[in-house]
A and B are shown apart, each in its own frame.
Chain A
Amino acid sequence: MAHSPEPATGRSLARVTRIAGALVVLVTVAAVALFLREFPEMVGPAALGSAGSVLLAVVLGLSRGSDRSLTGLGAGLLVVPAAVTVAGGVLVAIVLLVEDIFPVEEEALLSVGWLLIAGNVGVVVGCVLAVFGLALSRRNVVAGNGLAQGMRTTITSGAVPILTALLFFLIAGTTDTTADDAVVAPVAGLVRSLVTPVTAVVPAQFEVPVLLAALVVAAALLVGRLGRWLTATRFAPGPRTAGALAGGTITTVAVIAVAGWVYERVTTALIQRFPEEIEEQMRDATTTTASSFGESTAVLLAVVLCLGVLAGLLVAVYAALWTGLLARGSAGSSLAGVGVFLAAVFGGTVGAPAWLVLAGVAASLLVWDAGRFGVTLAREAGTGQTRRVEFVHLGAALLVGFAAVVVAMLVVGRLPDPNSAAAPDGPELLALASVVVGLLSLVLSLR
């Protein structure tokens, strides 16, 4: 028969029905917006991390494309910015919270402070993960071998700054000089000597475009030469790999070029947020680091840490797909649901209002269900009409969620305020938990 019920092509896995897809986007965006409204100081870090997650989704999308050097180059150029912004969002959140919470008045409040930081950072991580899931779900870039290809591109592109950082670290560790003095300064001088004749003849307003054009031409010639050399050897990489290598090289050079400026700005901003008592110590530490290892080395090492965070995220997603925790067809929406759930749970640990926590949990399950339902329906119904089925299923899920939230509000309303003197202690909480587990067991036995 020409038309089988379950066409299992990558292309068909990428589709989701319109209403389900719209519900996933609306509910996720609404949940993220409500959580950030409740934690306004986390808006900046969440926005930074979300931008990085979108860049990461673009990297994965480009990596899944045709095996061409341009797609590899594009992906390679975005790996470092994606890593820096994803990790940067979390780090900025930590720094802001540390500035707000510390120093504490009593030592006993130290652990409370760290729990508050963990809770708030958890909200940021949840929001970033939700946005990442949304970005993935647009074209389901993890379908087929998209994620594996994306990881290969990330590793290929990230290998250049990692190896460069290692080299610079070894230079600083084994010699009396830093890589800034041994490598960066001479190269910068050479470039300056090449640029000076250009700036002497070119009018000031055209200096930057001309220099940029010259840089691009030089980079293209160098990359082309390198590519031809590599092609002639038995270790010739494919076009996409070569492009990713080129992208990693260009970003590494760019990082080194701005390392001094970045190091100064970041360390100054960090030191200002620490208490005055340790400001002097922090300043000495940063100066010592710069003189011992060089600013380029320090910045590259920070980039490597960010790449590690990015790699950890990709590995976690890969593991979830491989173990079946995430369905490949609806991985994006499932991740979005997990993100909203994390935001709700961590928000609940740091005093988010009950209605927001309950609504967040319900929203996460709704997003999870709508995503899987929409992908399965698109695969089985193809381009046929699906509106009626979607309204029935999604409407029922919404009703159940609403009813569950109402019941949960009643339950929570009966519970004593944790900040009051009559707060429930261990045995009471355990009893409550036992009721829930008991209900769960009853439900399982009914199945």
Chain B
Amino acid sequence: MTVGRWRIGLAATLALVGVGLLFAEPTLLGAAVVPLAYVCYGVVSGLSTAPRLRATRSFEPEEPGPGEQVTVRLHLENAGDSVVPDLRIVDGVPDLAVVDGSPRTATALAPGETVTVSYSVVARRGEHEFDGPLVRARSVSASTVHTERVDVATGTTLTCVTPARDRLSETVLRRVGQLSAGGHGEGTEFYATRAYRRGDPMRRIDWRHVAKTGEFVTVEYRDQQATETAVVVDIREPGLGRPAAGHPSGASLSAEAADRLLTALDRANVLAGLGAAGVDPGGPLATVGNVAWAGTAGRQSDPSVLLDDVRRRIETGVDPEGSNADGTGGATEPGVSTDASAGDDRQLTARVDGGSAASPGARAVAEDTDAASNRETNDANPGSAADADGAAAGPSGTVEGDGSDESIEQLLGQMPAQAQVVLCTPALDNWAVAFGRAVTARGHDLVVVSPDITATGDVGLQLAGLRRQLRLRTLDQVGEVVDWTPGRSVSFDPGGVS
């Protein structure tokens, strides 16, 4: 396609000729050669043929987990015989956030030469189809333009699944599923000593006692019993925001963690059930209030089905078969970001802590969110000294603003009495702390798995990250905390178990 880029040269030529004649000035007439030369340049320079390009694409890693960064490399080769002096390339990225590099470039390609476009995206669960790159070639003078989409030989689909070697599940499972019970057995916790009997293993003899007294005694240990484990996933509103466009939300990563643990616990036959906090009270998921529970007792319900419904709720912002509380079917709730937009950052920051919102509107949202969070955690304790953003600092920088919460009570009422509890939560507000205290107060052992979505972000998110660390430190005092950054190492910090 030819574009009239050098029409300006025509105008300049005519202007110079006219003025030159008017003023009888030969210099101006001679100057008309200059724009005329540019016009000729635009006419003469063109693309002899449409460029022949070959494209391949690769992903690293090839099968990432949700939330991981994937490096995409697009290789474009000039398979023709002529130089392409001006080639602009835009790769066909699906709806994934580009977090590093750019899928666009511009270059000149000699015959046989290859250009590589490299950029990073954040993976989301599922299969993502990449379109072929859109290329636009121009002649040297840019007076001829050719646009086409190039087919890609390899690397058209990015598949995001749970990794085969799941370090998160391995780390958590080392701490759940086994409990020291009463009575002696084959555990590792000391129970009692008794007189040696023939046949007792040599390794059980207390040799120190033998050295002191000359008597042979055998050490007995507590019996280890497999214990039920309940997984609770926090999908309340503070976790629904995304740290940046295209990144997974805290709730979606919590659901991802719950998914991995459900599989591993079910395989070990210690799964008690799955609970979800933050469902729509009027929706079909809810069991009681805004919580849902799918227990495995009697196989009356399937935790994996509940998890699928939960995941759908996170993606769409509604209950899968219902509508929002305001009656709009399938509409996105205010502040629930499903589109990659710049407003997501502010929404998340505003939703998280209230102190780092980017705009007055976002701050108002933050104040409402934290007021709601305070109401959730302080219903039974209205006198708790919560500060403006709901995080009353206790001694040594821990978080104290909590009390009993109706949703917490409802959830605890659903699960077995002796179950260990694994809470999957982004810990973006104090509900997780309240839940942890309530769980341990009832005698359950607690493990908290918290995906970190504040690791990379602006100052507001970093501030939210600091507050999250305070909450995790508080939870560390009542349970064990696994701090998980998707795509990076799993940080496990064993604390005291009450």
Residues of A within 8 A of B (CB): 1-5, 115, 341, 344-345, 348-349, 354, 357-358, 361-362, 364-365, 368-369, 372-373, 376-377, 380-386, 388-389, 392-393, 396-397, 400-401, 403-405, 407-409, 411-412, 415-416, 418, 423-424, 426, 429-430, 432-433, 436-437, 439-440, 443-444, 446-447
Contact = CB atoms under 8 A, between A and B. Distances in A.
A2 B340 contact: yes
B106 A381 contact: yes
A344 B104 contact: no
Given A354-B27, A418-B24, 6 more contacts: A1-B93, A358-B30, A361-B35, A365-B8, A408-B33, A443-B36
B241 to A, nearest CB: 19
A447 B38 CA distance: 13
Interface stretch (B52-60, B133-141, B208-216): B133-141
B43 interface: yes
B325 to A, nearest CB: 31
B147 to A, nearest CB: 8
27 contacts: A1-B94, A3-B92, A3-B93, A4-B90, A341-B15, A348-B25, A349-B23, A358-B30, A361-B12, A365-B8, A369-B5, A376-B142, A381-B88, A381-B104, A381-B106, A383-B102, A384-B102, A392-B140, A393-B140, A397-B38, A400-B38, A401-B34, A404-B34, A433-B17, A439-B36, A440-B14, A443-B40
B104 A380 contact: yes
- Interface SS, B side: mixed
A411 B93 contact: no
B34 A361 contact: yes
Contact of B38 (A344, A357, A401): A401
Closest 4 CB pairs of A and B: A404-B37, A384-B105, A412-B30, A381-B106
Contacts of A443: 36, 39-40, 43
B141 A396 contact: yes
Contact of A345 (B8, B28, B96): B28
A382 B107 contact: no
Which of B9, B27, B87, B147 has the largest count of A CB atoms less than 10 A from its CB?
Answer: B27
B136 A5 contact: yes
B426 interface: no
A253 to B, nearest CB: 35
Contact of B30 (A362, A411, A430): A411
A381 B134 CA distance: 11
Contacts of A373: 142
Contacts of B12: 341, 361, 364-365
Nearest to A447: B43
Contacts of A345: 15-16, 19, 28
A344 B105 contact: no
A409 B34 CA distance: 10
A412 B16 CA distance: 13
Contact of A389 (B16, B86, B246): B86
Nearest to B37: A404
B30 A354 contact: yes
Contacts of B32: 436
Interface string B69-91: 00000000000000001111111
Interface residues of B, number: 65
A356 B31 CA distance: 10
Interface in B432-458: none
Contacts of A344: 31
B2 A429 contact: no
Contacts of B117: 384
A337 to B, nearest CB: 8
Nearest to A408: B33
A33 to B, nearest CB: 20
Contacts of A439: 36
A156 B93 CA distance: 47
Interface of B: 2, 5, 8-10, 12-17, 19-21, 23-41, 43, 45, 85-96, 98, 102-108, 117, 131, 134, 136, 140-142, 147, 246, 340
A436 B29 contact: yes
B138 to A, nearest CB: 8
A433 B16 CA distance: 10
Contacts of A341: 12, 15
Contacts of B106: 377, 380-381, 384-386, 388-389
B85 to A, nearest CB: 5
Contacts of B28: 345, 348-349, 357
Contacts of B30: 354, 358, 408-409, 411-412, 415
A377 B136 CA distance: 11
Contacts of B246: 2
Contacts of A386: 105-106
Given A5-B136, A393-B86, A440-B10, A357 B27 contact: yes
B9 A365 contact: yes
A429 B16 contact: no
B19 A429 contact: no
Given A358-B30, A408-B30, A382 B25 contact: no
Contacts of B38: 365, 369, 397, 400-401, 404
A299 B332 CA distance: 61
A348 B27 contact: yes
A408 B38 CA distance: 13
Contacts of A382: 102, 104
A447 B2 contact: yes
Contacts of A381: 88, 104-106
Contact of A429 (B13, B24, B43, B107): B24
Nearest to B246: A2
B105 A5 contact: no
Contacts of B16: 345, 361
B36 A412 contact: no
Nearest to A416: B26
B224 to A, nearest CB: 52
Contacts of B37: 400-401, 403-404, 407
A382 B119 CA distance: 13
Nearest to A430: B21
Which of B8, B13, B19, B43 has the largest count of A CB atoms less than 10 A from its CB?
Answer: B8
B97 to A, nearest CB: 8
Which of A372, A380, A416, A446 has the largest count of B CB atoms less than 10 A from its CB?
Answer: A380
Which of B9, B25, B96, B136 has the largest count of A CB atoms less than 10 A from its CB?
Answer: B25
Contacts of B95: 2
B379 to A, nearest CB: 42
A349 B39 contact: no
A2 B93 contact: yes
Contacts of B26: 412, 415-416, 418, 424, 429, 432
A385 B34 contact: no
A56 B13 CA distance: 31
B39 A405 contact: no
Contacts of A361: 12, 16, 31, 34-35
A381 B108 CA distance: 13
A397 B35 CA distance: 12
A111 B459 CA distance: 69
Contacts of A424: 24, 26
A184 B221 CA distance: 105
Contacts of B31: 344, 348, 357-358, 361, 408, 412
A149 B391 CA distance: 46
A343 to B, nearest CB: 13
Contacts of B39: 440, 443
A5 B90 contact: yes
A249 to B, nearest CB: 30
Contacts of A401: 34, 37-38
A229 B34 CA distance: 61
Nearest to B117: A384
A444 B131 CA distance: 40
Nearest to A365: B38
Nearest to B130: A1
Contacts of B94: 1-2
A418 B25 contact: yes
B360 to A, nearest CB: 13
